[in-house]
Amino acid sequence: MNFVLHGHAVSTGITVGYAHLVSTARLEVAHYEVAEDRVEAEVKRFDAAMRTAQDELYELKTQIAADAPAEFGAFLDLHRMILNDSALSQVPRELIRSRRANAEWALVQQMERLSERFDEIDDPYLRERKADVQQAVERVLKAMMGGADTSKSLAEAGATEEQKLIVVAHDLSPADMILFKRHRYGGFVTDVGGVTSHTAIVARSLGIPALVGLHHAHRTISEGELLIVDGVQGLLVVNPDAAVLAEYRGRQTQLKAERQRLKLLKKTPAATLDGTPIELFANIELPQDTPEAIEAGAEGVGLFRTEFLFLNRKDLPSEDEQFEAYRQVVQAMQGRPVVLRTLDVGADKAMDGGDGSHNMPNPAMGLRAIRYCLAEPQIFLTQLRAILRASHYGKVRILLPMLAHVHEIEQTLVLIATARQQLDERKLPYDKAVEIGGMIEIPAAALALPIFMRRLNFLSIGTNDLIQYTLAIDRTDDAVAHLYDPLHPAVLTLVANTIQTATRGGVPVAVCGEMAGDLKLTRLLLGLGLRNFSMHPSQLLLIKERILRTRLADVQTMAQRILRTTDPAKTRDLLTELNT
């Protein structure tokens, strides 16, 4: 059957590919005791489900088209190997017998034990295979529960299509998402999630089409079904017919040509038509994102979300490990500035090792970011030393997230002094003039800006959190995603005032939230006085093109009119006018 699901596009572009259902959320199954005389039947039920899962994987393998990406076959083989291993094929049988437990529970118990062992592996590639174990187990569970038939439709869908895999999940955490960076998936779609959740941000940084908030995708789509992810209109087309496919193929070709054209701008300096230079920086999550930032012509890294080094592991990265990661980025940027944001864990970026955010009543307002770091000074000091050491190899700036109180800056400055002293004692070099900046992402900081400015060398406006906290909407919750509005007068006033006050006070100010990479808002931000934008690299050339076509004198008056407007419909009309 062919049908369309509507969601929110978090990453533009169009992908045609095949559904790959994943669930990395804890697999919750019932636990019950099996009557003594039913134990052997339960073992048989387990064996039958294992066989079904194996058969499905075998079937899927035989149906892969010749031009399918190598990963498709490789992951099917890997899942078959995992299911063949006695750790999964035998141990749960023993658990069923010894504990008289139901088969689902025995399997998940064993999976969790294995997952813990994977967490202890040093090699990051092997450690990440935990996700494959979970996915293989999920296939068996589906078979036990009479789940969808996953063996059909690859061939039915037509072997001539470009074979890409599209991840279909109910939910993905930012930590899950970062694992997917290693695979070359064609797209991502999830049932839940807001457009500025960290999951969406990482999806966007992959530069492939992604949709969130589809509500029923994971339940209604089967493995291997043909999908079109339309990241331009926020649509997911399931089992498209030939005419729709042809139409989308045409649009894909157009988009590809567009991207090629933009590449020509890589070396063109970003400046408005009246010659005002604009700095365009890149946001990155991991050192391996740096080449993409360079490829997009970024003049620096404006936001390195260092917390991603801390996810998907039980231990903490050591000072040396962090130093190597930071140095790698700093050296790759060859003297261009790198803004390293200190650990912003908590809320949706929960550390496995226990930042406690799982248990917090309201993690977004809890012990997150700078609050967590100040509560854990040894962890913070380790990171500060690693950052300072990396500063010896290029131009490093330190950025503090989630500032709400001036004493948070003061305490941090004391810790930075301590970190310096410790490095001096170890005779390790660092840049003595490293600049310290603060994120303006809590309304309190925006409203009391002068007292923060006095203590900081630069500011960066985190519009994602600024909007979340100003409008009191959880950025990860798709039930309130429609209320997430960068054009709300309160948000615009805070952003405009921050830019104006900082500029007048001679303190450099950037925007590093998603607003900076939103083409609709480029002229508005320019008109409000912004001269430094930091965004995911995939947006950079598009934004540059818009800047090159903008005359500041033309947009300043209109930006002020938008700022004064209180009628949302009028705001949108004026914005359309500004962008035409």
Q: Which is closer to ligand PEP, CB of 230 or CB of 299?
A: 299
Q: Pairing state of beta strands 301-305 and 337-341?
A: parallel
535 binds ligand PEP (CB under 6 A): no
Residues contacting 266, CB < 8 A, separation 6+:
295, 296, 297, 541
267 torsion bin: left (phi>0), alpha (psi -120 to 50), beta (else): alpha
104 binds ligand PEP (CB under 6 A): no
512 binds ligand PEP (CB under 6 A): yes
Q: Show which residues are catalytic.
A: 198, 512
CA dihedral 442, 448, 449, 450 (to 10 degrees): -160
Minimum distance, C-beta of residue 383 to Mg ion, in the bound complex (Å):
17
Note the Cα 288 to chain centre separation in Å: 14
Q: How many CA atoms lie within 13 A of 253 on its CB side?
A: 6
305 binds ligand PEP (CB under 6 A): yes
Interface residues for ligand PEP in 463-492 (CB under 6 A)?
A: 463-465
Candidates 104, 408, 465, 474: give the one binding Mg ion (CB under 5 A). 465
Q: Which stretch binds ligand PEP (CB under 6 A): 31-39, 257-265, 462-470, 523-531?
A: 462-470
Long-range contacts of 64-67 (CB under 8 A, 24+ apart): 64/154, 64/163, 65/154, 65/155, 65/159, 65/160, 65/161, 65/163, 66/159, 67/159, 67/162, 67/163
Minimum distance, C-beta of residue 42 to Mg ion, in the bound complex (Å):
49
Instruction: Give the total of residues touching ligand PEP (CB under 6 A).
Output: 11
Q: Listing from the earlier edge strand, what are the strands of the sheet with 235-238? A: 3-6, 235-238, 226-230, 14-22, 165-169, 187-190, 210-212, 8-11
Interface residues for ligand PEP in 413-452 (CB under 6 A)?
A: 441
Q: Which is closer to ligand PEP, CB of 114 or CB of 540?
A: 540
Q: What is the DSSP letter of 304?
A: E
Q: Which is closer to Mg ion, CB of 218 or CB of 368?
A: 368
Site string for ligand PEP, 49-68 (x = CB under 6 A): --------------------
Q: Which stretch binds ligand PEP (CB under 6 A): 32-40, 41-49, 408-416, 460-468?
A: 460-468
Instruction: Give the total of residues touching Mg ion (CB under 5 A).
Output: 3
Number of residues assigned to the chain:
580
Distances (CA, A) of 250 to 237, 245, 254, 256, 314: 16, 9, 6, 10, 46
Q: Which stretch binds ligand PEP (CB under 6 A): 29-37, 174-182, 351-359, 458-466?
A: 458-466
Minimum distance, C-beta of residue 498 to ligand PEP, in the bound complex (Å):
12
462 binds ligand PEP (CB under 6 A): yes
Candidates 297, 462, 527, 537: give the one binding Mg ion (CB under 5 A). 462
List strand residue ranges (DSSP E) for 250-300, in order.
Answer: 279-284
Question: Alpha-carbon distance 278 to 127, whole Å?
Answer: 42
494 binds ligand PEP (CB under 6 A): no
Site string for ligand PEP, 342-361 (x = CB under 6 A): --x-----------------
Transcribe 39-79 into DSSP letters: HHHHHHHHHHHHHHHHHHHHHHHHT--TTS-HHHHHHHHHH
Q: Which stretch binds Mg ion (CB under 5 A): 60-68, 87-95, 383-391, 439-447?
A: 439-447
Q: Which is closer to ligand PEP, CB of 80 or CB of 349?
A: 349
Minimum distance, C-beta of residue 94 to ligand PEP, in the bound complex (Å):
45
Q: Which is closer to ligand PEP, CB of 59 or CB of 518?
A: 518
Q: Which is closer to ligand PEP, CB of 23 or CB of 470?
A: 470
Q: Pairing state of beta strands 3-6 and 435-440?
A: unpaired
Strand, coil or helix: 112: helix
The CA radius of gyration of the chain, in Å to the nearest whole number, is: 25
Q: Which is closer to ligand PEP, CB of 138 or CB of 348?
A: 348
* Residue located via tokens 């062919």: 2
Residues forming the site for ligand PEP (CB under 6 A): 201, 303, 305, 344, 441, 462-465, 512-513
Q: What residues make contact with Mg ion under the rule CB under 5 A?
A: 441, 462, 465
